[in-house]
């Protein structure tokens, strides 16, 4: 029978102690790969924006012009606005990068990315 832990300290102490090393390895790999990209702009946005809509077209055009100016474009690699940005970058023959977070239901890299970095953990700095 599984033990139910109600105390957050108890849960923290019983979690997989190697997780911190997996998280650190994702940071190290990400920094290592992205350090060679050069000037880049990140474009993140809704994954639910449909192709052909005003904002999809705008994201594609903005990314296209950024790539023409020599910027790599980095997105979350998903559908919607991220796909539009990768698509515009690809059309401009720029460097299109996707940072893919493994999610249980929907996340997979869109077809317009040249380089995809896969992550298990979604972390942000406070």
Tell me the per-residue pLDDT of 16-59, one tens digit each, with 9 for 90 and over: 777 788 888 888 888 898 999 999 999 988 999 999 999 999 99
Residue 25 lies in a domain: no
pTM: 0.74
Residue 99 lies in a domain: yes
Q: What is the tally of structural domains in the chain?
A: 1
Residue 4 lies in a domain: no
Q: Is the Cβ–Cβ distance between 37 and 72 less than 8 Å?
A: yes
**pLDDT value, residue 20:** 80
State CA 8 to chain mean position distance.
Answer: 29
| Average of per-residue pLDDT across 95-111 | 80
Residue 12 lies in a domain: no
**Domain harbouring 104, CATH code:** 3.40.50.450
Range of the domain at 45: 39-126
Residue 52 lies in a domain: yes
């Amino acid at each position: 029978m599984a033990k139910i832990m109600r105390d957050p300290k108890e849960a923290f102490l019983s979690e997989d102690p190697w997780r911190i090393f997996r998280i650190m390895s994702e940071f190290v790999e990400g920094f290592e790969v992205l350090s060679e990209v050069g000037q880049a702009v990140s474009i993140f946005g809704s994954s639910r924006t449909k192709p052909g809509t005003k904002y999809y077209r705008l994201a594609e055009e903005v990314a296209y012009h950024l790539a023409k100016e020599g910027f790599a474009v980095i997105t979350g690699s998903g559908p919607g606005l991220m796909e539009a940005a990768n698509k515009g970058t690809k059309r401009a023959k720029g460097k299109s990068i996707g940072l893919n977070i493994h999610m249980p239901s929907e996340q997979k890299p869109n077809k317009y990315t040249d380089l995809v970095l896969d992550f298990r953990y979604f972390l942000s700095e406070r």
